[in-house]
Structure 1
Amino acid sequence: MRAGGSARWLAGYGALLVVAVTWPFLVPGGAFALRDMMVFDAMALTRASLGWGDLPARNVPQDALLGILPHPVLFLRFAVVGAAACAARAGYLLGRGTFGRAAAMTVAVWNPFVVERLLQGQWSLAVAAWLLPLVALGRGPAATLAHWLASLTPTGALAAACAARGRAGLAVSALTCLPWVVAGVFAGAGGTASAASAGVFAPRAEALAGTLGALAGLGGIWNGEAVPPSRSAGFALAGVALLALLALAWRDVPRRWLALAAAGFALALASWAGLTGPLVAHVPGAGLLRDGQKWLILAVPAYVAAAGALDGRRALAACAFALLQVPDAPVALAALTPVPAAAVEIPAVDDRGRDVVFESRPALTRVAGRVAVDPAPKAMNVVESGALAVDGVVVDPPSARWSAAQVALDGPDSLGRLRGLGIGLAVRADGSVVDAGAPARGLPPVGVALFALWCAVPLLACVQGHTLKINRPHLHRYAD
């Protein structure tokens, strides 16, 4: 196959892969709601979105960015589809020959990790997994922008920091991690993770493949309901075969990427063995480790590079095994199609920036028949519970302020006690609103400043691009 024809064929194949796994984000609709995902156009910038609320900064700066954008839903669409396209591009760059490139593109775009995380509603983690090979490839504006977008959540930020290269990568790592690191240290929001929750979030075995086999193919998410049906029919075994093929090319994978993959598997296996429970319970910030399977994200660059090093029949077999891991991915991902904006019910409370506490409001709700997180904390300053119950067992207790507010609602001098907690409004279970009188507290200056620095990272990419443009003739002269 000629070079021009090969490039066109691979471009078409890459586009097909991207559309197959992101098509729900191309469907018209006003909001996205599924499990952990709740994105709608009425989101607001709050103290919690900056990491200075009642709970640890788990969605920082993702929610802050969505809170300042005029069209968060449109941004979500571009971010998901664009990240998948970047994964295809990275696979193309890492591949050798037509079939090697096709294999690398397939492994990068179509894998159980991104499919399961999307179905869990953790779209920004899937975005980070798609962008990580581009971050690992090296310096330059593209790597910087990929690093920035991958850092929408702390897990993505840490993964990108591990994969980044050079001084620019170090600078971007610092700027993208500071918002949630500083908030975690100084915001005063106590962690709610427990040793029991580490066990709940441990990797899960899948049919015929077991836990080790599921992890081998980058699957094994803790929530079985966020898994395509094919994984329960034994298709996870294709991931074991895929890893066996990729292992043949391990010498062609950069050692640093192999070390990253080893670290990711070590964390996942430690979670499976129950070793992370004490860390999660007693070490500040170690709650990031309790969902051990998500750290398989660190193995994605090595997998893609190994697939790209294959050629001929081995590369074609790798393509087949990668697709067979989740052959029903496009069908399963239909659960992500957007819902009408009117389906997202935001409480009609005239809060004017004040803290609002809801009496016994559940953290999960139903939107168009789907289970999703409550939209209220995304639109106003809500005193959040943070309590977590799995299969009827409470594994994380509620936050101290929420518990105190619930007691105050039914106790003597309720208004004074709520006001002492900094709460301006209380909404009872019957819908009545109690004005406790506490004024709006405003946004934390430190949180705003760090978020502004995070938003400025793309400017660094512009500077890099300008520098490369100036130096390119000089570099070419030496190359000649």
Structure 2
Amino acid sequence: MVPGEAFALRDMVVVPEMALTHAALGFGDLPARNVPQDAVLALVPWPVLAARAIVIGSACAAAYAGFRAGTSTFGRAAAMTVAVWNPFVVERLLQGQWSLAAAAWLVPFIALAARGIGPIVGSWVASLTPTGALAALALARTRGQALACALCCAPWVIAGFLATGTGTASPASSTAFAPRAERWVGTLGAMAGLGGIWNAEASPASRGAGFAVFGVVLAIVLAGGWRAVSPRLRVLAVVGFALAVASWLGLVGLVIGWLPGAGLLRDGQKWLILAIPAFVSAAGALRPRVAAVACACALLQVPDAPAAVSQLRPARVELPAIDDRGRDVLFVDRPGLLSRADGVPVVDPATKAFNVVESGELRIDARVVDAPSPRWQAAQARPGDLDYLADLGIGVVVYPDGRVVVTGAPARGPEPVGLALLALWCVAPLASRLKLTKD
């Protein structure tokens, strides 16, 4: 086993040497959920450092947006606090969705910063995750910026249509990802303060102790600056809350059953990201004394944020010592979720270093609500039949007792379409800049 320092917390796994796998390009066994995030990290020399820089830089961008939104000293303080210190980003960081948290910090910058290359770069970074890409597209203020956002969506949109991997989202799974009620405020109150993530374990302890009440008070206080918010940001805030409420009411499950790609909607609370720019703008427009109250409420609704996010500190992970040579690897009876030394669950780090045949199965109360991928299911049914596994394209098989067997199946090169889409994402800001110059 080869040890290494990495970021590993629930959905977040960034190892020192990320591989440009089929899944990273959106052409693995599962839907393109980490596209182009994982592929970009595979291209940079120090992915752990890059992820850290993106998170910190995005938080700084949010603070700058809040400063610009303020009309007074206290207004700037309130807007900066609402932009940087809110339950949405804290909970998403604790869930390990670091790129979504970065996007949540970037959306006020995209919406409120001066026009030019800055918002375009912000949109580019936000598009590391599909949700961030769509939020940036909704906030685009110029044709150049809209072009950048559309190009940045291409890697996961096109891969979703062309990839051989089958979507695993089911209507039954939507209830598991619906917004969650918090103490003393219920579900609507939790969402009013930008909280309510589906996973209670990814929520700071203060939220379970009743501090979410301050989020409700904050929402009421921010209503005083609502008139100063641009109509467009108001509409987007309403759309974000409508999607979250639809998820809470179970309406999203009705759509997932027949609309391809609708699995992107099932985590309804994440669409509150569309409301963050309006919240920041409203905070900046408040009268000084009211803004001071808003600033205090923003801090008090999640006072333990620094302690909570300390879980993101780098951890030691171990990757199997496999000479895979780029071949597809099947781990027999290896769970998709492992545990850190402190017991916190984490996605299998091997999926970031090898072309792993992934399951994608989701069980709730011992009931399968998301079926496993067809290739994984077929391989696990006959793990000892090497010829059969070779026909499935699996080149290396790792058994629970540590044996590593080569089937003879050759390595598949990176999907050319995936590489082309990644290249398109990389040059998207340049293309939009040319459009901006022509305009």
TM-score (norm 2): 0.96
C-alpha distance in 2 between matches for 1:327 and 1:104: 17
Aligned partner of 1:453 in structure 2 is: 424
The within-5 A match list for 1:271-282 is: 271-282=247-258
Aligned partner of 2:356 in structure 1 is: 382
Structure number with higher helix proportion: 1
- 1:396 partner amino acid: D
Aligned pair 1:355/2:328, yes or no? yes
Aligned partner of 1:177 in structure 2 is: 153
Deviation string 1:66-90 (CA, Å, 9 cap, x unpaired) is 1111100110111011000000000
Aligned pair 1:81/2:56, yes or no? yes
Structure index of larger Rg: 1
Aligned length: 434
Instruction: Return 326-335 or 57-66, whichever deviates more.
Output: 326-335
Instruction: Return 396-405 or 428-437, whichever deviates more.
Output: 428-437
User: Shift in Å at residue 331 of structure 1?
Assistant: 1.1
Deviation string 1:368-409 (CA, Å, 9 cap, x unpaired) is 323211011100111100011244433211100000011121
Aligned pair 1:407/2:381, yes or no? yes
Aligned partner of 1:134 in structure 2 is: 109
- Secondary structure in 2 matching 1:248: helix
Aligned pair 1:68/2:43, yes or no? yes
Deviation string 1:406-433 (CA, Å, 9 cap, x unpaired) is 11214xxx12211111111111111112
> CA RMSD of the aligned region, Å?
1.6
- 2:207 partner amino acid: R
The within-5 A match list for 1:157-196 is: 157-196=133-172
C-alpha distance in 1 between matches for 2:365 and 2:40: 33
- 1:88 partner amino acid: A
Aligned pair 1:324/2:297, yes or no? no
- Secondary structure in 1 matching 2:132: helix
Answer whether contact 1:424 1:440 (CA < 8 A) is retained.
yes
- Secondary structure in 2 matching 1:459: helix
Aligned pair 1:345/2:302, yes or no? no
C-alpha distance in 2 between matches for 1:460 and 1:321: 42
The within-5 A match list for 1:383-398 is: 383-398=357-372
Answer whether contact 2:148 2:432 (CA < 8 A) is retained.
no
Aligned pair 1:430/2:362, yes or no? no
C-alpha distance in 2 between matches for 1:299 and 1:193: 26
Residue 414 of structure 2, aligned match among 427, 443, 446: 443
C-alpha distance in 2 between matches for 1:154 and 1:319: 31
C-alpha distance in 2 between matches for 1:424 and 1:382: 10
Taking structure 1 as reference, are residues 461 and 85 closer, same or farther at Cα in structure 2, changes over 3 Å only?
farther
C-alpha distance in 2 between matches for 1:203 and 1:373: 22
Residue 364 of structure 1, aligned match among 331, 337, 358: 337
C-alpha distance in 1 between matches for 2:426 and 2:364: 36
TM-score (norm 1): 0.88
User: Shift in Å at residue 461 of structure 1?
Assistant: 7.0
- Secondary structure in 2 matching 1:212: helix
Residue 221 of structure 1, aligned match among 197, 204, 207: 197
C-alpha distance in 1 between matches for 2:16 and 2:365: 32
Aligned pair 1:418/2:389, yes or no? yes
Deviation string 1:101-137 (CA, Å, 9 cap, x unpaired) is 1110000000000000000000000000000011113
- Secondary structure in 1 matching 2:339: strand
User: Shift in Å at residue 311 of structure 1?
Assistant: 1.7
- 2:107 partner amino acid: L
- 1:177 partner amino acid: C
Residue 98 of structure 2, aligned match among 123, 128, 133: 123
- Secondary structure in 1 matching 2:318: coil
Residue 336 of structure 1, aligned match among 298, 312, 336: 312
Deviation string 1:455-476 (CA, Å, 9 cap, x unpaired) is 11343576689x59xx9xxxxx
Answer whether contact 1:140 1:461 (CA < 8 A) is retained.
no
Answer whether contact 2:183 2:212 (CA < 8 A) is retained.
yes
Aligned partner of 1:198 in structure 2 is: 174
C-alpha distance in 2 between matches for 1:128 and 1:153: 8
Answer whether contact 2:319 2:350 (CA < 8 A) is retained.
yes
Aligned pair 1:307/2:283, yes or no? yes
- Secondary structure in 1 matching 2:30: coil
C-alpha distance in 2 between matches for 1:224 and 1:179: 32
C-alpha distance in 2 between matches for 1:461 and 1:282: 34
Aligned partner of 1:39 in structure 2 is: 14
- 1:257 partner amino acid: L
Answer whether contact 1:141 1:464 (CA < 8 A) is retained.
no
- 1:362 partner amino acid: P
C-alpha distance in 2 between matches for 1:105 and 1:282: 41
Aligned pair 1:264/2:237, yes or no? no
- Secondary structure in 2 matching 1:96: coil
C-alpha distance in 1 between matches for 2:225 and 2:401: 63
C-alpha distance in 2 between matches for 1:233 and 1:384: 38
Residue 208 of structure 2, aligned match among 219, 232, 238: 232
Answer whether contact 1:32 1:38 (CA < 8 A) is retained.
yes
- 1:38 partner amino acid: V
C-alpha distance in 1 between matches for 2:253 and 2:273: 21
Deviation string 1:134-167 (CA, Å, 9 cap, x unpaired) is 1113631110110000000111111111111111
Answer whether contact 2:28 2:163 (CA < 8 A) is retained.
yes
Aligned partner of 1:22 in structure 2 is: none
C-alpha distance in 1 between matches for 2:427 and 2:397: 37
C-alpha distance in 1 between matches for 2:257 and 2:360: 15
C-alpha distance in 2 between matches for 1:139 and 1:451: 26
Instruction: Return 142-151 or 421-430, whichever deviates more.
Output: 421-430
User: Shift in Å at residue 436 of structure 1?
Assistant: 1.3
Gaps of 5+ in 1: 1-28, 472-480
- Secondary structure in 2 matching 1:409: coil
- Higher relative CO (Cα under 8 Å, sequence separation at least 6) belongs to 2
